[in-house]
Chains A and B, each alone.
Chain A
């Protein structure tokens, strides 16, 4: 059974159709890079997968949970699907430690001590053990984003969704965040990432999806897709971003 299974998924904002009958399956351990122009629907696709956006037609299963079903237990789903945002969205009134332990203690009812251990482990994986007691606004953008990743990791997710997580960062801070992602990839995490980092996508992703006008316009292995795009739209997109 695929971990993520989209069947003819349609997403509309009012009259505007953002996703038009998207079909997609993602297996455990896959790393999927999602590329496309802004407004193509790639972020919306990601947001639908953990139920941040509802869908108007089709079916969407994540680990067997019917996300399209209004009565689906989104809480259970989200406890197992990590989501990292472009603008980090840490909780500014809480320390780094509490930002990370909030999910485990509140949602998964883990004890404070065990949650702190989870947080320490997650922070070690993103290289920020020494920032445990800092507040978000004392950290750089790259550090905040790594804390946001640690916040998701502490929930022991089976799938991680990354929505343009390096787009808001200064160029010199992008590397530290991408290194964290590469480590996670090496550890076998299933990941879907919307990204503008083409070199990173080429190096790390098993599969690249090119989203255009709300559909998966073209997909395949990174090397194949980047070397031999078959559609004119992908060719012109790659021409614009690679040069």
Chain B
């Protein structure tokens, strides 16, 4: 049954966008703690801890995101645990975000010169105080642009969750296109919506970078 594209379709797409946003937020919620842990382990003094961090980043980045999605979606049922598509997608995207955020944040931490650690230690600051007042404020400035860049990648990559049947923007677009055969118009709208979500982030990132630079 082929129907015409109607005024309601853009609205459906817009509603589907919230699942894209929600999946992105869940992925960040799950990925940020993993990322922090990866970054913390990555600059630990103990070598095994650093290996765990490096290993995690290497493993996750070395396997396609699509494979992680399949792994969670089809892997759990093998152990008798049925997971809904949204949960499998959240797990996969959290694992994925954890590796990339961890690498970005570790890089930012390591880029702060050793002398900043020494100077703050020499006035008697504890490790946590050094991090809080000296290291993280400087690392943050370095980490913000690539972090926002990654969030944009993440927003676009959540479209992969369509393959396990999670209905977000891309999946909704596929279904609308199939029903109306108006592929070009539908995917132009889908593209425009992704752009509308990502572009403000780019601008915001540039603004933050500028602001933090001006305020040092």
* A interface residue numbers (CB < 8 A to B): 50, 52, 74-79, 82-83, 85, 87, 89-94, 102-103, 106-108, 135, 137, 151-152, 155
Contacts and interface: CB of A to CB of B under 8 A. Distances in A.
Contacts of B125: 75, 102-103, 106-107
Given A85-B118, A91-B120, 12 more contacts: A50-B122, A74-B121, A77-B124, A78-B124, A83-B122, A91-B138, A93-B137, A94-B216, A102-B134, A106-B129, A106-B133, A108-B124
Interface of B: 115-116, 118-126, 129, 133-134, 137-138, 141, 216
Contact of A75 (B116, B126, B133): B126
B121 to A, nearest CB: 7
Nearest to A92: B216
Nearest to A91: B134
Contact of A89 (B119, B133, B138): B119
A87 B122 contact: no
Contact of B123 (A76, A87, A94, A102): A102
B120 A52 contact: no
B119 A91 contact: yes
A93 B212 CA distance: 9
B118 A92 contact: no
A151 B123 contact: yes
5 contacts: A78-B122, A89-B115, A94-B216, A102-B125, A107-B125
A93 B135 CA distance: 10
B123 A92 contact: no
A83 B133 CA distance: 19
Given A78-B124, A103-B125, A155-B124, A93 B216 contact: yes
A186 B171 CA distance: 78
Given A92-B216, A93-B137, A87 B115 contact: yes
4 nearest A-B pairs in the assembled complex, by CB-CB distance: A89-B119, A103-B123, A79-B124, A78-B124
A151 B123 CA distance: 8
A113 B126 CA distance: 23
Contacts of B141: 93
Given A93-B216, A135-B216, A79 B115 contact: no
B123 A152 contact: yes
A52 B118 contact: yes
A180 to B, nearest CB: 18
A94 B137 CA distance: 10
A90 to B, nearest CB: 7
Query: Which residue of A76, A91, A108, A152 has the most chain B CB atoms within 10 A of its CB atom?
Result: A91
B118 A107 contact: no
B121 A155 contact: no
Of the candidates B122, B129, B138, B216, the one having the most CB atoms from chain A within 10 angstroms of its own CB is: B122
Given A91-B134, A93-B137, A93-B141, A103 B116 contact: no
Contacts of B119: 85, 89-91
A63 to B, nearest CB: 14
Nearest to A135: B216
B134 A103 contact: no
